[in-house]
Amino acid sequence: MTVRVRAFARMRELLDEGAFDLQLPEGATVVDAWEALRARNRKIDALASSTRIARNGRVVALMSERLADGDEIALLPPVGGG
Amino acid sequence: MALFAILRDAIDPRALEASVRTDACGAIVTFLGVVRGSTSEGRSIVGLEYEAHEAMALAEFAAIASEVGERHTGVRLGILHRVGALNVGEVSVAVCAAAPHRREAFEACEYAIEALKARAPIWKKEAYADGGDAWIVNKL
């Protein structure tokens, strides 16, 4: 299946793009998506504890949450708006 | 104009005030966030770059307005935030609260900007005169 990744701020810089598609096996979870992103750049580990992940606009509470084809996964580092 | 928006062009606070105002309102409080020319440590800033998850930011603005509505009946809130490159002196955010009386308007406006800074998925990078840059995380 294909999920759309949106990455912001430092996370966008580390992953080189702000929006891209990620191929994952059927039944993949948020953890699997994170591991696939780590394969792109392991430096994102430094942001793992502070970054929230949203699935289709809602912050996920459980990394074991299953993904579906067409989902949007957003990587949200600590915010700085205002 | 829309009460909640992420904008690429300059913010017009007067237009937002006109949008939140009704004939039941006797008070409008507007907060403007403005790009500073230096950090708290005195490092010279040449500009800021903002980015946002627009759909989530707009949902957060609406949630904040809903919370304000629960605290104070009759308050109308408007929130505009810029994205893209901003120069020193430009308005990055406008929060406008209209209410029957000034006390609710002041409280609603302060609540909204504090909630926005804590929660809205918006990011800011400072570019410095000495060539460096840094993502800034809001202190809560």
Mean pLDDT per 10-residue section of chain A, whose length is 82 residues: 98 97 97 96 96 97 96 98 96
Indicate the number of domains in chain B. 1
pLDDT score of B48 more than 80:
yes
Tell me which residue range forms the domain holding B118: 4-130
For A81, the closest of B55, B59, B81 (CB atoms) is: B81
**pTM for the whole structure:** 0.96
Which chain B residues touch A75 with a CB distance below 8 Å?
none
For B120, the closest of A6, A54, A79 (CB atoms) is: A79
Which chain A residues touch B122 with a CB distance below 8 Å?
79-82
At B41 the three-state DSSP class reads: coil
Confidence of residue B1 (pLDDT cuts 50, 70, 90): confident
User: Out of 3.40.50.920, 3.40.720.10, 3.10.110.10, 3.10.20.30, which CATH number does the structure's domain A2-76 have?
Assistant: 3.10.20.30
Contact call for A82 and B121, based on CB within 8 A: no
Confidence of residue B61 (pLDDT cuts 50, 70, 90): very high
Only one residue has tokens 């580990």, namely A45
Q: Nearest 5°: CA angle at B84, between B17 and A4?
A: 110
Contact call for A78 and B81, based on CB within 8 A: no
Put simply, whether A9 touches B (Cβ < 8 Å) is yes
Q: Sketch the domain layout of chain A as residue ranges.
A: 2-76
Count of alpha carbons within 13 angstroms of residue A70, beta-carbon side: 0
pLDDT of residue A78: 97
Contact call for B124 and A81, based on CB within 8 A: yes
Contact call for B55 and A57, based on CB within 8 A: yes
